[in-house]
Amino acid sequence: MDYEECRRWYDGYYQNGYEIYNPESVVKSMRDKKYSNYWGKTSSYRVSSDRLEENFRGSRDAVVRMLAGEEVPVNVSQYLNTMDCFATLDDALTYLIHIGYLAYNESEESCHIPNLEIRKEWANAVAVMSDQEITDRIIKASKELLKSMLAGDEDAVAKALDESHIHVTSNRSYNNEDALQSAIYLAYIYALNKYTVIKEMTTGKGFADVVFIPYVADLPAMVIELKHNKCVESALDQIKEKKYSDSLRDYKGGLYLWV
């Protein structure tokens, strides 16, 4: 079985410099000869899903951001090691780190969804919520967006990104680059089932704002450059002049450049 595919499904936890997999899922995967979601739901999951349903201190919003590929800041130092008495969003996120539904980035003091198995668990949790209509619509629209992008439908892509942008920002921060990146992550939330997303990837002579590298055959990579009040041609020229594609020189598939 493919080692890299196993990593995508079950790796993603780190402790003292070591990578940690979900051992039970790895064993079941090897026995069944297939990669699938073997994560067992327990009473601890019920606690977290209840908090998600309530959107406790913005917990559901944080999970949606992480489903879209972002990391969320978290202070783990105040957690009192309790399963049902949370005072802050940090408490809820730290608890989710303890039971494995999130992974902790110690250097950045942030948390994220560790792997494909847990991503599917969170997607399932969001899908069955009583008021999940908006989030569910975003996920379905993301699937259509990926199809439109691969088909070269510029108008459909622009419309989908505009709608995503409205969901993640306010009038005051509409043209903020971080807000634009969040909009892209959210709009392409479905693509994370097929792509690895790298923010500010080191390239030939600079940094590409967002790069999508596929781990599924026959899909193109994507290099994204964000610009405000500048023409498309200037952004494309920057991609070429700074040799953004150099970091992908060993990649053998197609490559989309968009701004």
Q: How far is the C-alpha of 167 from the C-alpha of 9, rounded, in Å?
A: 29
Residue 156 confidence class, pLDDT cut points 50, 70, 90? confident
Judge whether residue 46 has pLDDT over 80: no
Residue 127 three-state SS: helix
Band (45; pLDDT cuts 50, 70, 90)? low
Q: Average of pLDDT values for 130-157?
A: 73
> Each residue of 86-95: pLDDT tens digit?
788 898 889 8
**Whole-model pTM?**
0.65
pLDDT at 67 over 90: no
| Per-residue pLDDT tens over the stretch 178-230 | 666 666 776 777 777 788 777 777 666 667 777 888 887 788 888 777 766 66
- Domain finish residue from 71, 93, 127: 127
123 and 136 together in one domain: no
More confident residue, 64 or 167: 64
Are 181 and 118 part of one and the same domain?
no
Average pLDDT over residues 50-76: 78
Percentage with pLDDT > 70 across the chain? 68
* 147 and 194 Cβ atoms separated by less than 8 Å: no
State yes or no: pLDDT of 169 exceeds 60: no
Task: Burial-class residue 232 by CB neighbours within 10 Å (0-12, 13-18, 19+).
Answer: exposed
Count of structural domains, the chain: 3
Handedness of CA 169, 171, 176, 181 (dihedral sign): positive
Answer yes or no: is pLDDT of 177 > 60. Answer: no
pLDDT band at 174 (very low <50, low <70, confident <90, very high): very low
Structural domain of 43: 3-127
- Shared domain check, 112 and 9: yes
Q: 114 pLDDT band (50/70/90 cuts)?
A: very high
Residue 129 in this model has a pLDDT that exceeds 90 = no
Q: How far apart are CA 86 and CA 93, in angstroms?
A: 10
Give 128 or 218, the one with higher predicted confidence. Answer: 218
Residue 3's identity, in one-letter code, is Y
| More confident of the two residues 243 and 44 | 243
Domain final position from 127, 154, 180? 127
Q: In 10 A of CB 134, how many CB atoms?
A: 9
CB neighbours of residue 245 within 10 Å: 18
Residue 143 and residue 248 share a domain:
no
Q: Which of 111, 127, 143 finishes a domain?
A: 127
Packing angle, helices 59-67 and 43-54, rounded to 10 = 100
- Can you give the pLDDT at residue 214? 84
The reply to whether 53 and 164 lie within a common domain is: no
The Cα–Cα gap between 87 and 59 comes to 12
pLDDT category of residue 171 using cuts at 50, 70 and 90: very low
Q: Are residues 168 and 187 in the same domain?
A: yes
Spatial distance between the Cα atoms of 210 and 38, rounded to a whole number of angstroms: 31
Token pair recorded at residue 48: 């977290």
Does one domain contain both 219 and 234?
yes
Burial 191-221 (b: 16+ CB within 10 A, else e): bbbebebebebebeeeebbbbbbbeeeebeb
Closest CA to 11 of 23, 28, 27, 29: 23
Answer for the pair 83, 43: CB distance below 8 angstroms, yes or no: no
Residues 11 and 119 in one domain: yes
Cα separation, 192 vs 138, whole angstroms: 14
143 and 39 in a common domain: no
Write down the pLDDT at residue 228.
66
Per-residue pLDDT averaged across 238-253, rounded? 68
Q: pLDDT exceeding 90 applies to what percent of the chain? A: 14
Instruction: Point out which residues pair with 224 in neighbouring strands.
Output: 210, 258
Co-location of 25 and 83 in the same domain? yes
Q: Would the pLDDT of 170 be above 60?
A: no
pLDDT tens track for 24-44: 999 999 999 999 888 865 555
